[in-house]
Amino acid sequence: MPKTIQKQCVYCLSNKVLNDNQILLHGQHLYLCAPRGQLVEGYLVISPFSCIGSLSALPADWFPELYLIIKVVSVFYQETYGVTNMTLYEQGRGGGGARIDAAGRFPFHAHLCCLPLIVDLHSFLSQHYTRKPIARLEDLSIIAPGCPYVYIESQDKTGVHKSCVYVPATEIKSVELERIRLKPIIASLIDLPMRGNWRTYPGDNELKHLIKCFDLFKRRFQ
Ligand SMILES: [Zn+2]
């Protein structure tokens, strides 16, 4: 049987899959980028330079940098789009030790996704997985130890801002969390179902405009 070849990791900077202009901020351990597949203009990702499977495996002393970049994203959203309520989420599909996506054969590389809008993922996820409140991202390794998870920080349908981790209650749910793709679910929740897959909706016009807006935003601080 032919062995399926593992795909190159998009988020490992050494692979140079991302164009230089997509890297918006370059920190000591982490970077901020504007990926293709803009669900809405402003979809941003914070990621480590090289492959770490999930944010729950991030070294403890990297979190201050992560918070700093989140703060920059928050100010950018507010000043550029007038948005004060963003959604942050991470699919910790590699949290249980899995290294690659079973279907797509791409490596799991930790990335925190940022969206300049409210998406009530809490309602969807709480129907399927066990919800655990979390105060700080560095607690992921304690609250979701050795298992796949989803981290969500956003308002729920009652307007309450919540930071929660969703973990599997059974082995079947664990396998499901390792495979689930949230992007099509988010695209449906925001009534833009065709944007759930970057191949069918690359969002290149939004990407171009986002890069331009972030460049203008950065110039104000230089
Ligand atoms: Zn990688």
Tokens at 199, concatenated: 């191949």
Q: What is the pLDDT of residues 113-158, one digit of tens each?
A: 999 999 999 999 999 999 999 999 999 999 999 999 999 999 988 8
Give the CATH number for residue 129.
3.30.428.10
Is 4 a member of any domain? no
- 82 alpha carbon to ligand 1 midpoint, in Å? 33
- 47 alpha carbon to ligand 1 midpoint, in Å? 9
Domain count, the chain: 1
Q: DSSP string spanning 91-143?
A: EETTTTS--B-TTT-PBP---EEEESS---HHHHHHTTSEEEE-S-GGGHHHH
Is 18 a member of any domain? yes
Report the pLDDT value the prediction gives residue 112, as an integer from 0 to 100.
Answer: 98
Please tell me the distance from the alpha carbon of residue 18 to that of residue 20, in angstroms, as a whole number: 6
Asked whether the predicted pLDDT for residue 30 surpasses 80, the reply is yes
Please tell me the distance from the alpha carbon of residue 186 to that of residue 154, in angstroms, as a whole number: 13
Please tell me the distance from the alpha carbon of residue 48 to that of residue 30, in angstroms, as a whole number: 4
Tokens at 3, concatenated: 């062995």
Report the pLDDT value the prediction gives residue 103, as an integer from 0 to 100.
Answer: 83
- 147 alpha carbon to ligand 1 midpoint, in Å? 19
Is 220 a member of any domain? no
- In the sheet with 149-155, reading across from the earlier edge strand, the strands are 23-26, 30-33, 44-48, 112-115, 87-92, 149-155, 161-167, 130-133
